[in-house]
Amino acid sequence: MALYSEKVMDHFRNPRNVGVIENADGVGEVGNAKCGDIMTIYLKIENDIIVDVKFETFGCGSAIASSSMATELIKGKPVSEALQLTNKAVAEALDGLPAHKLHCSVLAEEAIKAALKDYYDKNHIEYDAGQFPDCASCGHCCGK
């Protein structure tokens, strides 16, 4: 059995939505150099819809594929729906990730949530803090 699914390989070799959005409405960065994966998600939001999303990821193929798939899953969606995206949904959309690479899908979820929180903060939109887990207690390698 192959270590990576065809979808993972496709999103690694042909990542969607790579780049930066200047004057993004929300930006989220997670990860650190110690664990090797850093993801930044940029959001453009109009009328509560994510009209554009871009990413920059420094990391392994699974991190790039997870970032790419996550952006595809939220593009064109309402903010409230994007906020519900889980790492499990990202991994399933990629037809699975090896167990030792599941943290990549977690980072993609966290980067999107960080960008949405940034959007809420910039626009003084009230939100339930419980929607955004305390990064210091999550147990992942983002280092915040």
Is the pLDDT score of 140 beyond 90? no
Note the pLDDT of residue 35.
67
Query: What are the tokens at 138?
Result: 């999550």
The single residue of 35, 60, 135, 141 carrying the catalytic annotation is 35
Contact call for residues 112 and 74 (beta carbons, < 8 A): yes
What is the predicted pLDDT for the residue at 129?
85
35 catalytic residue (yes or no): yes
Q: What pLDDT was estimated at residue 113?
A: 96
The whole-chain average pLDDT of the chain stands at 90
In this predicted model, what pLDDT tens digit does every residue of 15-65 receive, in sequence order? Answer: 999 999 999 999 999 987 666 889 999 999 999 999 999 999 999 999 999
Residue 141 a catalytic site member? no
d(CA 49, CA 44): 8
Asked if 53 and 41 count as a contact pair (C-beta separation under 8 A), the reply is yes
Whether the predicted pLDDT of 125 surpasses 80: yes
The answer to whether residue 143 scores a pLDDT higher than 70 is no
Q: Strand pairing partners for 54?
A: 42
Does residue 3 surpass a pLDDT of 90? no
